[in-house]
Structure 1
Amino acid sequence: MTESTVQYAARFDVDYPEKLDRVTSAFRFLWIIPIAIVVSVLSGTAVSTTTVVTATGEVVSQVSRSAGGIAGGLFGATLLMILFRRRYPRWWFDFALQFNRFTARVAAYGALLTDRYPSTVEEQAIHLDLDYPDVEKQLNRWLPLVKWFLVIPHLIVLFFLFIGAAFAVIIAWFAILFTGRYPRGLFDFVVGVGRWALRVSAYATLLLTDRYPPFSLH
């Protein structure tokens, strides 16, 4: 890592495994389902269906979606606290840290970066750190209102990077089945995409820093 990346408010890394289990890797899409459901409940969207009977007797079902989950609510609450009170409650930060560590372990497991089933407590081989901000000294209270706009270039780049990472995981899956190893170049690329996405999240949604995230996988 470069010095500038190490000092950023969000850091992510994964220990490179020398050997991976071929059987668990082959059926990873099945093993991950239970823990992925837990993540989706915490960070997903709420869906509701309303049935309406018209004057002609026709039954019409309307499906509506609303932002839901603890993570979405935490973003909105944090934005308001920074904007109006210039505060970032420590327990909100601690939850955000542990939630992101948990989701990172699940994502790493799904991307075949580790064989260990994601723990809700232990760090395992996935290392994610966030810096607690001093709101009054480090954060501009008005900037969270436009950060979503400022990161649009990152989102465009990440869109293509995620596509590349998906192909990298597929290639790595075949490599693991035949050799039991994750090609190091592909491993570093997938981890780098995760690192990039975390820094963008720390800036735009976790609201931990006003320092613009670098365009870098390292």
Structure 2
Amino acid sequence: MSNQIITEISVDLDNRDKNTALFRIFLAVPVLIFLSSFAAFADDAMGWIGGFLVLPVVLSLLFRNVYPSYVLAFNKAFLELDNRVTAYLLVLTDDYPSIEANQKVRLTYPEIDGGRKLSPWMPLVKWFLAIPLFLLGLIYAIYLLALTLIAWFTVVTKGYYPADKAEEVVKVIAYWNRLYGYAVLLITDEYPSFSLS
């Protein structure tokens, strides 16, 4: 089993709803408000994390060498919700993002319990080590936006999502999920790959 988050997104390629794709950003406002409510009470220093529980994980890894299961469950559910909203906004699916888990977007986490321990000191340096990954991720994000613009135009005019664009967009989302798993959620000590594959 991989020591990284595995991302599976079921993309709707054919028979797309042109009308909802055209006004997707406006239709997503309610679920975006719901998603942003998790970060609304965070202070400025931690606000960029966006709703994930990080400090309890860092403290429990440093002092107890344990990843709290309830924090893991919350962070996993929050990242899956974020991915469902992202898939909807990026026109990968016409299904309005549910606030409950569904089969369109699934994330598989590495096994944390069962003998594999996380290094207790790594949370102190992971953010620093992840700087090159974040910088490359920004380039990948620009690539994702360009692909999404082309795909959005195709969906609105022709009613289908190009398969090659969908594959690349999902790879970029998976890259960011692996990066979050390493640097923000701290669920693995394995350094993520720089590639999209």
Partner of 1:18: 13
What is aligned with 1:201? 180
Q: Does 1:188 align with 2:184?
A: no
1:121-136 aligned at under 5 Å gives the runs: 121-134=100-113
1:66-215 alignment, distance < 5 Å? 66-68=45-47, 71-72=51-52, 74-134=53-113, 137-215=116-194
Q: Which has the higher strand share?
A: 1
Q: Deviations over 1:66-113 (max 9, x none)?
A: 5358834x1011001100111111111111111111111001000000
**1:23-79 superposed Cα distances (whole Å, 9 cap, x missing partner):** 1100101100110111111135657xxxxxxxxxxxxxxxxx45358834x101100
**Contact 2:84/2:97 (8 A) holds in 1:** yes
Give the TM-score normalised by the residue count of structure 1: 0.83
* Matches of 1:152 and 1:66, distance apart in 2: 17
Length-normalised TM-score, structure 2: 0.91
Tell me, in whole angstroms, the C-alpha distance in 2 between the residues paired with 1:108 and 1:84.
37
Q: Indicate the SS of the match to 2:54.
A: helix
Indicate the structure whose relative CO is greater, using CA pairs within 8 Å and at least 6 residues apart.
2
Structure 2 residue 11 is matched with structure 1 residue 32: no
- Larger CA Rg, structure 1 vs 2: 1
**Matches of 1:105 and 1:187, distance apart in 2:** 15
SS at match of 2:38: helix
Aligned residue number for residue 8 of structure 1: 3
RMSD: 2.0
Residues of 2 paired with 1:136 and 1:122: CA distance? 28
* Partner Cα distance (1:103, 1:16) in 2: 16
Cα shift readout 1:113-162 (whole Å, capped 9, x = no counterpart): 00000011131411212124139743110011000111111111111110
